[in-house]
Amino acid sequence: MTVPLVDVGPLADSGTSGRDAAAALAAALSDVGFASVVGHDVPDGDLGAMRSLLPRLFAADDEAKRRQAITRDDYRGYIPLRFFTPNRDDQVPDNFEGYKLHWECPPDHPARRECRLYGSNNWADHLPEMADVVGSWWAAFDDLAERLLATLAASLGVDGGEVATAMEAPLTNVTLLHYPARSTGDPSPGFHPHKDVSVLTILDPDPVGGLEVRSRDGRWVEAACPPGALLVNVGDLLEVWSGGRYVSTPHRVANPTGTERYSAPFFMVPNHGVVVEPLVEPLEVFVARSVPVGEVTAEVWRTNWPEEQPTDDTTHLGTVDV
């Protein structure tokens, strides 16, 4: 299995090239659930600025990271090294530290009353340029995600306005990640096998590699992505919306020994009040379900704390069995 390469540049074309690009994207996300996309129009300057920011972000001293760490009341800021686990007794913590950001909700927006995940981000105090760098990068990724989602909705024969309305006050979020160099014999994974609780996830992959996708026959395969391309994958919410036509595929990070790794996955998530259900007749083999976005997102957040266990055994909350 390989991750298909798709040129999404022609998507805006109403002619044959646009239809071909849309068909190629839909085929990749139906078959593999991942695509390497070129022609994405995310400026090189935004990608380069974010790549430069990540090592400097995590170069903060331990005291600064403790002072600006996430809390149960504010899920924005530093995530301590090896803090999160898959909440399974047979697994060790993941070998990463992070920095959590959410959609920057305007101060007077009514969504702020819905849940704690709506609010203002905390910006690292040693990087005065962080808000501007992330803001420009975020806007470019958001624009790409909206274009891709509109194309996929059209491929399903779904009204694009319906999905657009579901994204007006999104729980879209980003985890800035640093995977320290792993020593030989360290059993900690970079990131345990999981699926994304998102609509789409977009990633500018670190050239050191390590991101692996599970094939249909159970093999773990490197998610190869050529220079200049971005990785796009289907999350559980799009899989449900599409009635199983677009596939949310398990993946993991197998951090290479002796090599540091940085990444910034962008998770597109609908409004808090949206209940995601199939928008088209589900495939016969797909078990349809309803996903209340706000409740599930809050549960994902709560169960990230090591001592917390899921209250609903029917919701995998990202983690999957190997």
Give tens-digit pLDDT for 231-257: 999 999 999 999 999 999 999 998 777
From the CB of residue 114, how many other CB atoms can be counted at a distance below 10 Å? Answer: 16
Query: In the chain, where do the E strands start and end?
Result: 5-7, 34-38, 77-79, 97-102, 173-179, 191-194, 200-203, 211-214, 220-222, 230-234, 251-253, 261-263, 266-268, 275-276, 291-292
Q: Model's pTM, two decimal places?
A: 0.95
Check residue 190 and give its pLDDT. Answer: 79
Domain assignment present for 23: no
**What is the chain's mean pLDDT, rounded?**
91
CATH of the domain at 204: 2.60.120.330
Q: In terms of DSSP H, where are the helices of 32-129? A: 44-57, 62-67
Q: Compute the Cα dihedral for 286, 288, 293, 294 and give only its sign.
A: negative
CB 21 within 8 A of CB 8: yes
- If one compares 81 and 86, the residue with the highest pLDDT of the two is 81
Check residue 17 and give its pLDDT. Answer: 94
Check residue 256 and give its pLDDT. Answer: 72
- If one compares 73 and 146, the residue with the highest pLDDT of the two is 146
Please write the tens of the pLDDT for every residue from 250-305.
999 987 777 899 999 999 999 999 999 999 999 999 988 899 999 998 888 887 77
CB 37 within 8 A of CB 229: yes
Please write the tens of the pLDDT for every residue from 212-231.
999 888 899 999 899 999 99
Q: Which domain holds residue 244?
A: 37-303
Domain assignment present for 21: no
Domain assignment present for 9: no
Check residue 304 and give its pLDDT. Answer: 76
Domain assignment present for 205: yes
User: Token pair for residue 207?
Assistant: 């050239």
Element (H, E) at 225: none
Burial class of residue 280 (count of CB atoms within 10 Å of its CB; 0-12, 13-18, 19+)? middle
Please write the tens of the pLDDT for every residue from 187-206.
777 788 889 999 999 999 99
Provide the domain count of the chain.
Answer: 1
pLDDT band at 90 (very low <50, low <70, confident <90, very high): low
Residues of the chain above pLDDT 90, percent: 70
Domain assignment present for 60: yes
Domain assignment present for 92: yes
Domain assignment present for 68: yes
Inform me whether the pLDDT recorded for 89 exceeds 90: no
Any idea what DSSP says for residue 219?
-
Residues of the chain above pLDDT 70, percent: 94
pLDDT band at 308 (very low <50, low <70, confident <90, very high): confident
Q: At what angle do helices 130-156 and 44-57 cross, to 10 degrees?
A: 130
Check residue 314 and give its pLDDT. Answer: 53
CB 265 within 8 A of CB 165: no
